[in-house]
C-alpha cells in the first residue's frame, strides 16, 4: 500500500517540475529588406548574447520558456527587438540604418559583411549620398569617391573611370564590369549602358577598385555593383517627385512600394528632360521599372528586376580651344568637307529592355546557392557627323555561385556565361536621315568564366582570401554586303586570373590589408569594330597586375579613416584615336603604370544630439594618381614617360552635411580637379576646375499618412569655361566639351502611406 502514495507524489512532481526542464526550440532565418540572408547577426535573449546567424541567415537556440525577449542586431541595420513565441518558422527582416562608413554592409566578393572586414578597397554610396545633389544625375555623387571619375560630355552621355582607366572610352563605360542586384548588367559585348538607368532606379552603389577578375571576369578597371532601392518593413506607399531647373530641366517620377512579411515590390516610372546649356544638347529619358523580392520559404527566395528605358540625347561634338574661348555654348561647326553637328542632327537614340531573375536557395546551414539569368534587347541609332549607324543588340547570360560556410572557413565556386548577337548597319548621314548603305554586319560575342574563392579566419585577427578564375572571350564577325560573305573570328587566349588578399585586425576598430590581383581586359565590340567599320583582328586584350596596401581606423560613431596605396602595371594598353572625320579607332600602345594614393576621412562632431542641430557630418576625400606611359612608340613619336591621357593627377573633394531637429537640412560639397592631359603627346590639357555644390531642404510629416520634402540645389564652377568630360586624342584639336557654369533646381517630394 505504501507504493501508491509514492506513485501519486511522483506523478504530481512530474506534472509541476518537468516543464521547468523542458526545452522550447526557437528557429528561423534573418534576411535584409531585399531578402538577402544576413550572416553574423547577433542574437540576444533576455539581454544575454547567445548566438549569431549562419551563412544562410539561419539560427536556432533552445529556451526553457515558450516566449522570450529577443534582439537581432547587425552593423548597418536597425536592431529588431520583440517578445517572440517558440516556433520553427521565424523570419526576421532587418532594415538598413543611416550607416556609418565602416558599418556599411557590402556584397562585394560575395562577402555580405561589414566594410571593415573586407580585404579590398571598396567605396559605398548609399541613397543619402546620392541625394545630396539635384536628383537628376549620379555624376556629382560618384565624383566624391576617391580614385573614381565620372564624365558627362553632354547631358545623357556618361563615361566612368576607376584609377585613371579612361584611355579606351571616347564614350560610354568600358573596361569596368557592372552588376545590377548581383546580375550582370554589362553585356557580352563589353558595353554598359549606364546612361539608361534613371536616378531613382539606384539605391546603393558599391565600387570595387582594382582588377576584380578573380570573381567577376573580364576587366582591369574595376567592378561596380548597383542595387535597387527597396521599401522598408511594412511600407505601403506611393511616392511622387517633381523638380525643375536651369536650361529647361524638368524631371518627375512616381513609385508604388509595398513590403510584407514575405515580399518587397516596387513599380516606378520616371521622366527627365533638358534643353541643355550648349547648342544642340537636348535630352529626354523615360524609364519604367519593376523590382521584387519574394521569400518562398525559409530556404528559398526569388528576386526580379525588369526595366525599360527610352533615351534620346543630342551630341554637340567637341570644339577647339579657340572656338571654346570665343563661344563656349556652340556645337561643333562645319569644317571643310564635314557638316556641323546640328546640320547632321547628331544624336543618340537608345531603347533597352532588360529583365533579370535570381533564385537563392539554402540547402543546409552550411551550403547555399544563388543563380541568376538575364535577357536584354537594345535598339540603337546614332546619326553622327561621319555616318548613320543603326543596330540591334540581343543578349542573354547567367551567373551561379555556390557557397559553403563552416566556422571560420568560407568557400565559393561558380561561373558566369554571356552571349550577345548584334545586327548593325551603317549608312551615310544626310542631315539626320540614313542614306547609302556602307556596311551590313552581324557580330556574335561569347564570354564565360569559372571561379573559386576561399576565405579563412586565422588566429590573432588574421584572415586570408584567395581566388582564381578561368576566362574565355571571343567574337565572330560577318559582313553581309560584301561578296563573298566570309565570317571572321577572333578568340582571345584563355587566361587564369588570381587574387590573394590578407587582412590583419587590431581589435574591432583598426585593420591593415594587402592584396595582389591580376586583370584581363579584352576589347569591347565598339573597339574591335569601331565607327570606321573595320574589324580589327590585331587588337589584343589588356593584362594588368595590381599591388595594393590599405588601412582603416575608427573611433566608433565619431571618426572614420581609410587609405590605400596601389601600383597597377598594364600591358598591351588599348588607346583610342580619331581620324579627321571624327571616326574612332583603337590600337595597343605598349605599357602603362599607375601609382596612386587614396584617403577618405569622415568626422561626426554631432550625432543624434537632442539640440537644434541633430546631426553634423564633415568629410574629406583625396586622390593622387601618378599615371604614365612606360613604353609607347607611335610612328616616329616616342611618348614613353608622358602622363596618361585623361587622368587628373590630383582630385580633392570635401563636404559638410547638417540635419536639424525640425527637419531642415543642408549639404555642401567642394570639388577640385587638376589639369587633365587630353592627348598622348601631352600638348593639350583641360584646365583645372573648382566646383561648389549646395542643397538645402526641409522634411516634414503631415500627419501619419503624408510626408513631404522641399529642396533647392545650386552648383557653380569658379573656372569658366570648364568641361566635365572632354574628347581624348581628338582630330583637329577638337578636345573640348564645355559644361554649364552654374545650375539651379527646385523640387518637391510627397510620400503617401497607404
Is the pLDDT assigned to residue 9 strictly greater than 70?
A: no
At 76, is the pLDDT very low, low, confident or very high (cuts 50, 70, 90)? low
Residues 181-194 have a mean pLDDT of 90
Provide the pLDDT for residue 653.
Answer: 97
Provide the pLDDT for residue 413.
Answer: 96
pLDDT digits (tens, 9 = 90+) for 737-748: 999 999 999 999
Per residue, the 3-state secondary structure of 402-421, as one string, reads EEEEECCEEEEEEEEEEEEE
Q: How far is CA 580 from the centre of its chain?
A: 35
In 3-state terms, what secondary structure has residue 707? strand
**CA of 218: how far to CAs of 214, 221, 520, in Å?**
9, 9, 5
Cell 565556386 found at: 413
Q: What is the dihedral sign for C-alpha 103, 108, 109, 112? A: positive
Provide the pLDDT for residue 578.
Answer: 66
Report how far residue 401's alpha carbon sits from residue 408's, in angstroms, rounded to the nearest whole number: 19
Rounded to 5°, angle at Cα 623 from 715 and 277: 25
- DSSP assignment of 570-582 equals EES-EEEEE-TTS
At 100, is the pLDDT very low, low, confident or very high (cuts 50, 70, 90)? low
Task: Please tell me the pTM assigned to this model.
Answer: 0.88
At 516, is the pLDDT very low, low, confident or very high (cuts 50, 70, 90)? very high
- φ, ψ of residue 72 in degrees (nearest 5): -115, 115
At 677, is the pLDDT very low, low, confident or very high (cuts 50, 70, 90)? very high
Q: Are 273 and 286 in contact (CB under 8 A)?
A: no
At 398, is the pLDDT very low, low, confident or very high (cuts 50, 70, 90)? very high
Q: Which one-letter DSSP state was computed for residue 200?
A: G
Helix, strand, coil percentages in the chain from 3-state DSSP, rounded to 5: 10, 60, 35
pLDDT > 70: percent of the chain: 94
Is the pLDDT assigned to residue 603 strictly greater than 60?
A: yes
Provide the pLDDT for residue 16.
Answer: 46
Q: Among residues 457, 305, 304, 360, which one has the least CA distance to residue 38? A: 360
Q: Are 542 and 573 in contact (CB under 8 A)?
A: yes
Report how far residue 30's alpha carbon sits from residue 358's, in angstroms, rounded to the nearest whole number: 19
Burial class (CB in 10 A: 0-12, 13-18, 19+), 703: exposed
Q: Which one-letter DSSP state was computed for residue 324?
A: H
Out of 106-110, 247-251, 302-306, 325-329, pick the least confident: 106-110
pLDDT digits (tens, 9 = 90+) for 199-258: 889 999 999 998 888 899 877 889 999 999 888 778 899 999 999 999 999 999 999 999
Residues 443-448 have a mean pLDDT of 94
Report how far residue 433's alpha carbon sits from residue 449's, in angstroms, rounded to the nearest whole number: 41
pLDDT digits (tens, 9 = 90+) for 377-388: 999 999 999 899
Q: Are 574 and 588 in contact (CB under 8 A)?
A: yes
Residues 182-210 have a mean pLDDT of 90
- DSSP assignment of 600-640 equals EEEEEEE-S-SSSEEEEEEEEEEEEEEEEEEE-EETTEE-T
In 3-state terms, what secondary structure has residue 252? strand
Provide the pLDDT for residue 31.
Answer: 79
Out of 392-401, 500-509, 606-615, pick the least confident: 606-615
Provide the pLDDT for residue 4.
Answer: 56
Is the pLDDT assigned to residue 83 strictly greater than 90?
A: no
Provide the pLDDT for residue 305.
Answer: 95
Q: Are 728 and 678 in contact (CB under 8 A)?
A: yes
Is the pLDDT assigned to residue 342 strictly greater than 70?
A: yes
Which residues make beta-bridge pairs with 738? none
Specify the DSSP element, H or E, that contains 141: helix 139-142
Residues 589-610 have a mean pLDDT of 89
At 48, is the pLDDT very low, low, confident or very high (cuts 50, 70, 90)? confident
Out of 59-68, 326-335, 549-558, pick the least confident: 59-68
Task: Show the domains of the chain with their CATH numbers.
Answer: 23-94 (2.60.40.1120), 183-230+237-753 (2.40.170.20)
Provide the pLDDT for residue 337.
Answer: 84
Query: Over the chain, what is the mean pLDDT?
Result: 88
Provide the pLDDT for residue 676.
Answer: 94
In 3-state terms, what secondary structure has residue 325? helix
Is the pLDDT assigned to residue 18 strictly greater than 50?
A: no
Report how far residue 564's alpha carbon sits from residue 513's, in angstroms, rounded to the nearest whole number: 9
Which is more confidently placed, 592 or 50?
592
Q: Among residues 194, 195, 268, which one has the least CA distance to residue 231? A: 268
Burial class (CB in 10 A: 0-12, 13-18, 19+), 635: exposed
Residues 31-52 have a mean pLDDT of 77
Q: Which one-letter DSSP state was computed for residue 89?
A: -
Provide the pLDDT for residue 678.
Answer: 92
Q: Are 288 and 254 in contact (CB under 8 A)?
A: no
Report how far residue 678's alpha carbon sits from residue 636's, in angstroms, rounded to the nearest whole number: 20
Which is more confidently placed, 144 or 2?
144
pLDDT > 90: percent of the chain: 58
Report how far residue 703's alpha carbon sits from residue 218's, in angstroms, rounded to the nearest whole number: 52
- φ, ψ of residue 620 in degrees (nearest 5): -140, 130
pLDDT digits (tens, 9 = 90+) for 105-141: 888 888 888 888 899 999 999 988 999 998 899 999 9
Report how far residue 225's alpha carbon sits from residue 544's, in angstroms, rounded to the nearest whole number: 21
Residues 288-302 have a mean pLDDT of 92
Burial class (CB in 10 A: 0-12, 13-18, 19+), 130: buried
Look up residue 534 and give its three cell numbers: 573595320
Look up residue 276 and give its three cell numbers: 541643355
Pairing assessment for the beta strands 574-578 and 157-162 based on DSSP bridges: unpaired
Pairing assessment for the beta strands 742-753 and 637-638 based on DSSP bridges: unpaired
Cell 548566438 found at: 51
Amino acid at each position: 500500500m505504501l507504493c501508491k502514495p509514492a506513485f501519486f507524489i511522483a506523478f504530481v512532481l512530474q506534472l509541476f517540475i518537468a516543464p521547468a526542464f523542458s526545452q522550447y526550440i526557437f528557429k528561423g532565418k534573418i534576411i535584409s529588406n531585399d531578402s538577402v540572408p544576413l550572416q553574423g547577426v547577433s542574437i540576444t535573449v533576455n539581454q544575454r548574447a547567445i548566438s549569431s546567424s549562419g551563412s544562410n541567415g539561419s539560427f536556432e537556440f533552445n529556451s526553457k520558456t515558450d516566449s522570450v525577449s529577443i534582439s537581432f542586431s547587425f552593423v548597418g541595420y536597425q536592431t529588431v527587438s520583440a517578445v517572440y513565441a517558440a516556433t520553427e518558422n521565424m523570419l526576421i527582416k532587418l532594415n538598413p540604418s543611416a550607416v556609418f562608413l565602416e558599418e556599411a554592409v557590402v556584397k562585394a566578393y560575395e562577402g555580405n559583411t561589414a566594410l571593415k572586414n573586407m580585404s579590398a578597397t571598396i567605396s559605398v554610396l548609399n541613397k543619402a549620398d546620392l541625394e545630396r545633389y539635384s536628383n537628376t544625375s549620379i555624376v556629382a555623387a560618384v565624383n566624391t569617391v576617391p580614385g573614381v571619375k565620372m564624365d558627362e560630355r553632354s547631358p545623357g552621355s556618361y563615361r566612368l573611370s576607376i584609377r585613371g582607366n579612361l584611355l579606351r572610352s571616347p564614350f560610354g563605360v568600358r573596361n569596368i564590369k557592372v552588376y545590377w542586384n548581383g546580375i550582370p548588367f554589362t553585356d557580352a559585348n563589353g558595353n554598359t549602358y549606364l546612361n539608361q538607368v534613371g536616378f531613382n532606379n539606384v539605391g546603393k552603389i558599391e565600387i570595387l577598385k582594382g582588377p576584380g577578375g578573380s570573381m567577376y571576369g573580364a576587366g582591369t578597371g574595376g567592378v561596380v555593383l548597383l542595387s535597387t532601392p527597396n521599401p522598408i518593413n511594412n511600407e505601403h506607399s506611393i511616392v511622387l517627385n517633381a523638380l525643375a531647373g536651369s536650361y529647361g530641366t524638368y524631371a518627375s517620377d512616381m513609385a508604388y512600394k509595398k513590403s510584407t512579411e514575405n515580399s518587397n515590390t516596387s513599380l516606378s516610372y520616371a521622366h527627365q528632360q533638358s534643353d541643355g546649356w550648349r547648342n544642340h544638347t537636348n535630352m529626354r529619358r523615360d524609364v519604367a521599372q519593376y523590382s521584387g523580392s519574394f521569400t518562398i520559404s525559409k530556404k528559398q527566395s526569388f528576386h526580379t528586376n525588369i526595366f525599360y528605358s527610352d533615351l534620346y540625347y543630342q551630341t554637340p561634338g567637341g570644339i577647339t580651344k579657340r572656338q571654346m574661348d570665343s563661344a563656349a555654348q556652340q556645337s561643333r561647326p562645319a569644317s571643310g568637307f564635314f557638316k556641323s553637328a546640328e546640320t547632321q542632327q547628331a544624336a543618340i537614340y537608345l531603347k533597352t529592355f532588360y529583365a533579370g531573375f535570381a533564385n537563392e536557395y539554402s540547402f543546409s546551414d552550411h551550403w547555399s546557392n544563388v543563380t541568376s539569368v538575364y535577357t536584354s534587347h537594345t535598339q540603337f541609332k546614332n546619326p553622327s557627323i561621319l555616318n548613320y549607324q543603326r543596330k540591334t543588340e540581343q543578349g542573354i547570360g547567367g551567373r551561379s555561385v555556390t557557397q559553403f560556410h563552416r566556422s571560420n572557413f568560407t568557400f565559393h565556386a561558380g561561373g558566369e556565361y554571356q552571349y550577345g548577337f548584334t545586327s548593325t548597319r551603317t549608312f551615310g548621314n544626310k542631315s539626320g536621315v540614313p542614306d547609302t548603305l556602307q556596311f551590313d554586319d552581324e557580330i556574335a560575342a561569347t564570354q564565360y568564366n569559372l571561379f573559386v574563392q576561399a576565405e579563412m579566419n586565422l588566429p590573432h585577427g588574421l584572415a586570408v582570401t584567395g581566388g582564381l578564375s578561368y576566362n574565355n572571350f571571343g567574337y565572330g564577325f560577318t559582313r553581309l554586303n560584301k561578296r563573298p560573305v566570309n565570317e571572321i573570328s577572333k578568340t582571345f587566349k584563355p587566361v587564369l586570373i588570381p587574387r590573394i588578399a590578407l587582412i590583419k585586425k587590431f581589435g574591432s576598430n583598426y585593420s591593415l590589408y594587402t592584396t595582389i590581383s591580376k586583370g584581363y581586359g579584352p576589347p569591347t565590340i565598339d573597339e574591335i569594330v569601331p565607327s570606321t567599320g573595320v574589324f580589327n583582328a590585331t587588337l589584343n586584350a589588356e593584362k594588368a597586375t595590381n599591388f595594393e596596401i590599405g588601412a582603416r581606423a575608427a573611433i566608433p560613431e565619431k571618426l572614420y579613416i581609410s587609405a590605400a596605396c596601389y601600383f597597377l602595371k598594364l600591358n598591351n594598353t588599348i588607346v583610342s584615336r580619331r581620324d579627321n572625320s571624327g571616326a574612332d579607332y583603337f590600337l595597343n600602345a605598349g605599357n602603362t603604370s599607375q601609382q596612386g594614393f587614396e584617403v577618405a576621412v569622415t568626422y561626426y562632431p554631432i550625432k543624434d544630439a537632442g539640440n537644434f542641430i541633430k546631426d553634423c557630418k564633415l568629410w574629406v576625400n583625396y586622390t593622387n594618381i601618378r599615371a604614365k606611359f612606360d613604353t609607347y612608340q607611335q610612328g616616329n613619336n616616342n611618348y614613353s614617360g608622358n602622363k596618361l591621357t585623361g587622368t587628373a593627377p590630383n582630385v580633392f573633394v570635401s563636404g559638410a552635411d547638417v540635419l536639424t531637429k525640425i527637419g531642415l537640412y543642408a549639404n555642401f560639397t567642394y570639388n577640385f580637379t587638376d589639369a587633365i592631359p587630353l592627348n598622348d603627346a601631352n600638348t593639350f590639357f583641360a584646365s583645372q576646375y573648382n566646383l561648389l555644390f549646395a542643397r538645402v531642404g526641409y522634411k516634414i510629416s503631415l500627419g501619419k499618412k503624408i510626408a513631404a520634402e522641399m529642396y533647392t540645389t545650386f552648383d557653380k564652377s569658379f573656372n569658366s569655361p570648364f568641361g566635365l568630360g572632354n574628347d581624348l586624342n581628338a582630330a583637329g584639336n577638337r578636345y573640348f566639351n564645355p559644361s554649364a557654369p552654374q545650375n539651379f533646381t527646385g523640387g518637391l517630394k510627397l510620400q503617401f502611406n497607404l
